[in-house]
């Protein structure tokens, strides 16, 4: 394990976080907020700078960087950034309890959107901005951003990206990975700027438009209003946000392929077809049920499309209290929490590609039971899937289920009802945001104990980083030892 290299790169990333905090300081100045709020960011910037310089001071003896080094770096980066990114909440007094602040910050960076806040609107604008900005930073990945702007990262970048970018596989768009990271971020930023302009054109205040765009881009779901998007009572903005939530749940590589003039090839992508087909089917079923039970067709369609887009993309915005919906509709939303968005998107969940592989593997196993001599591979987009990848997906699912079981068991100690206990874990490990019952779209996580919040914080990080990086920190066995 090349610890010196890990700490050196981590130091650079902490310095980058200090630079990013200049933006909320500017917001604080623009809105002439209490000096304590601006100082909370300035003090944190100083701490980040000192720690970053100390970590960078010890130069690595070698530049060798293996996969496990990438996992360790990613896990430590997200832990340090969240732990220090929580300080402005505490110092400003917005969230005095550090465990709550840590939960809120991890929820922001992992683009989960679960909150412990009971009142959002009274918070200082700079705190609201930082809260939403953490979604934007975490959406594409802070280390992907670092690769895009930092020199001398090409050699070890693939190991880092594989550990941070969600999905079962990661590849390059162009020959140099740094250029690939820049392309991804350019697309990400352009889409976000477009969304800001569209929301502002729909008469949403500029500050709200920026924060909402950040939260949508990262598929996070933090809003600046207590009632989330419902608070604007703006059908135009709801539709725009619905469409962009779907777009941010798409593999960003497909946007690059489209820009290169191969839109037809992108539209043939099997994962994309599964993703859009699921959205269409879920929206139609929920629309029909809502039309029969409570709303006119047009309103039912708008509510259903928004909530399906929000849950499957793991954004977590709400325009209604879906916890009051009929059982079938709530069941569909619960299943969508597991399913998640596409690999290579800013969304969470299991990912459509993994589910497709699992379904095809199950189908193959059933066929083989009837015909033991049958030899059949799994194909995605007409290409054979490596058996090692299939095994990796099954292993991922097993670890994922074990983490859910253990988390539910620990949180059950709080003594809450089964539904909020179970769905709190499901929504956090899948980085969705709202759950059901008292932690549903109109509730929050404030009633949970500090222990439960820390468990859910681990779940959010584990879900965002695809489990393995978080376990690297706690593992006693870093193998093979001779490479350390």
> What tens digit of pLDDT does each residue of 6-32 get?
888 899 899 999 999 999 999 999 999
Measured between alpha carbons, how far is 317 from 336 in angstroms, rounded to an integer?
Answer: 14
Lowest mean per-residue pLDDT among 16-25, 40-49, 139-148, 404-413: 139-148
CA distances (Å), origin 22, targets 40, 45, 134, 188: 12, 8, 13, 21
Residue 134: pLDDT band by 50, 70, 90 thresholds?
Answer: very high
Strands 383-384 and 379-380: antiparallel
User: What's the pLDDT at 483?
Assistant: 41
CB 127, CB 163: distance < 8 Å: no
Measured between alpha carbons, how far is 351 from 397 in angstroms, rounded to an integer?
Answer: 11
Residue with tokens 């292993």: 395
pLDDT at 281 over 90: yes
Give the residue-averaged pLDDT of 260-280. Answer: 92
pLDDT at 167 over 80: no
CB 465, CB 163: distance < 8 Å: yes
Phi and psi angles of residue 379, each rounded to the nearest 5 degrees, phi first: -120, 140
Higher-pLDDT residue of 476 and 193 is 193
pLDDT at 145 over 90: no
Please report, to the nearest 10 degrees, the dihedral formed by the alpha carbons of residues 247, 249, 253, 257 taken in order: -30
pLDDT above 90 covers what percent of the chain?
67
Give the residue-averaged pLDDT of 262-276. Answer: 91
Phi and psi angles of residue 118, each rounded to the nearest 5 degrees, phi first: -95, -30
pLDDT at 161 over 60: no
Residue 151: pLDDT band by 50, 70, 90 thresholds?
Answer: low
Question: How many other β-carbons are positioned within 10 Å of the β-carbon of residue 387?
Answer: 11
Higher-pLDDT residue of 153 and 58 is 58
pLDDT at 218 over 60: yes
The length of the chain, given as a count of residues:
484
Give the residue-averaged pLDDT of 48-57. Answer: 94
pLDDT at 231 over 80: yes
- Three-state DSSP class for 74? helix
User: What's the pLDDT at 172?
Assistant: 47
pLDDT above 70 covers what percent of the chain?
90
- Bridge partners (DSSP) of residue 380 are 383
Inter-axis angle of helices 22-30 and 35-57, to 10 degrees? 170
User: What's the pLDDT at 475?
Assistant: 64
CB 218, CB 208: distance < 8 Å: no
User: What's the pLDDT at 470?
Assistant: 84
pLDDT at 149 over 80: no
Residue 381: pLDDT band by 50, 70, 90 thresholds?
Answer: confident
Give the residue-averaged pLDDT of 428-439. Answer: 94
CA-nearest of 440, 459, 450 to 414 is 450
Measured between alpha carbons, how far is 420 from 370 in angstroms, rounded to an integer?
Answer: 42
Lowest mean per-residue pLDDT among 6-15, 165-174, 308-317: 165-174
Higher-pLDDT residue of 60 and 166 is 60
Q: Within 260-345, where are the H helices? A: 263-267, 270-293, 297-312, 327-339
Give the residue-averaged pLDDT of 255-278. Answer: 91
- Three-state DSSP class for 384? strand
Measured between alpha carbons, how far is 337 from 420 in angstroms, rounded to an integer?
Answer: 14
What is the distance of C-alpha 253 from the center of its chain?
Answer: 17
User: What's the pLDDT at 182?
Assistant: 82
User: What's the pLDDT at 162?
Assistant: 57
CB 214, CB 135: distance < 8 Å: yes
User: What's the pLDDT at 482?
Assistant: 46
Give the residue-averaged pLDDT of 217-235. Answer: 95
Tell me, yes or no, if the pTM score tops 0.75. Answer: yes
User: What's the pLDDT at 279?
Assistant: 98
pLDDT at 154 over 50: no
198-216 residue pLDDT tens: 999 999 999 999 999 999 9
Question: How many other β-carbons are positioned within 10 Å of the β-carbon of residue 158?
Answer: 18
Give the residue-averaged pLDDT of 139-153. Answer: 66
- The kind and range of the H/E element at 402 are helix 387-411
- Three-state DSSP class for 177? helix
Give the residue-averaged pLDDT of 323-351. Answer: 93
Question: How many other β-carbons are positioned within 10 Å of the β-carbon of residue 278?
Answer: 18
CA-nearest of 327, 293, 332, 292 to 309 is 332
Phi and psi angles of residue 144, each rounded to the nearest 5 degrees, phi first: -60, -40
Token pair of 146 as six digits: 């670092």
Q: Report the chain's mean pLDDT, rounded to a whole number.
A: 89
Residue 166: pLDDT band by 50, 70, 90 thresholds?
Answer: low
Measured between alpha carbons, how far is 468 from 473 in angstroms, rounded to an integer?
Answer: 9
User: What's the pLDDT at 291?
Assistant: 96
pLDDT at 467 over 70: yes
Lowest mean per-residue pLDDT among 179-188, 317-326, 343-352, 408-417: 179-188
């Amino acid at each position: 394990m090349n610890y010196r290299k890990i700490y050196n790169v981590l130091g650079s990333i902490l310095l980058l976080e200090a630079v990013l905090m200049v933006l909320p300081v500017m917001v604080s100045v623009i809105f002439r907020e209490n000096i304590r709020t601006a100082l909370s960011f300035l003090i944190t910037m100083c701490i980040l700078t000192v720690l970053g310089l100390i970590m960078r001071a010890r130069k690595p003896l070698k530049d060798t960087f293996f996969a496990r080094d990438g996992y360790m770096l990613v896990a430590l980066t997200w832990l340090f950034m969240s732990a220090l990114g929580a300080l402005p909440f505490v110092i400003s007094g917005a969230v005095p309890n550090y465990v709550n602040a840590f939960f809120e910050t991890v929820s922001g960076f992992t683009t989960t959107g679960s909150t412990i806040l009971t009142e959002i609107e009274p918070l200082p604008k700079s705190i609201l901005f930082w809260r939403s900005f953490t979604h934007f930073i975490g959406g594409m990945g802070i280390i992907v951003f670092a690769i895009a702007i930092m020199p001398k990262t090409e050699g070890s970048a693939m190991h880092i990206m594989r550990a941070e970018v969600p999905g079962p596989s990661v590849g390059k768009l162009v020959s140099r990975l740094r250029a690939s990271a820049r392309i991804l971020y350019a697309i990400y930023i352009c889409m976000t700027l477009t969304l800001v302009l569209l929301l502002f054109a729909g008469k949403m205040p500029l500050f709200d438009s920026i924060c909402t765009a950040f939260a949508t881009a990262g598929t996070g779901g933090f809003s600046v209003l207590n009632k989330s998007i419902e608070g604007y009572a703006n059908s135009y903005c709801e539709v725009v946000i619905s469409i962009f939530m779907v777009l941010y749940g798409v593999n960003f590589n497909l946007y690059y392929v489209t820009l290169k003039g191969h839109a037809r090839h992108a539209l043939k992508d099997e994962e994309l077809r599964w993703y859009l087909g699921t959205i269409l089917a879920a929206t139609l079923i929920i629309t029909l049920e809502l039309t029969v039970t409570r709303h006119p067709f047009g309103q039912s369609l708008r509510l259903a499309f928004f909530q399906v887009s929000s849950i499957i993309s793991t954004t977590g915005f709400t325009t209604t209290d879906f916890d009051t919906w009929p059982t079938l509709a709530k069941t569909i939303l619960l299943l969508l929490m597991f399913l998640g968005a596409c690999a290579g998107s800013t969304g969470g969940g299991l990912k459509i590609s993994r589910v497709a592989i699992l379904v095809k593997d199950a189908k193959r196993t059933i066929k083989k039971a009837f015909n033991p001599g049958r030899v059949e591979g799994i194909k995605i987009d007409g290409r054979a899937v490596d058996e090692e990848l299939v095994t990796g997906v099954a292993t991922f699912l097993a670890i994922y289920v074990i983490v859910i079981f253990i988390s539910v068991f620990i949180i059950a100690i709080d003594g809450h009802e089964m539904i909020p206990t179970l769905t709190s874990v499901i929504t956090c490990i899948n980085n969705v945001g709202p759950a059901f019952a008292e932690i549903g779209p109109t509730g929050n996580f404030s009633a949970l104990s500090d222990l439960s919040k820390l468990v859910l914080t681990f779940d959010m990080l584990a879900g965002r980083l695809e489990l393995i990086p978080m376990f690297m920190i706690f593992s006693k066995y870093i193998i093979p030892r001779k490479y350390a």
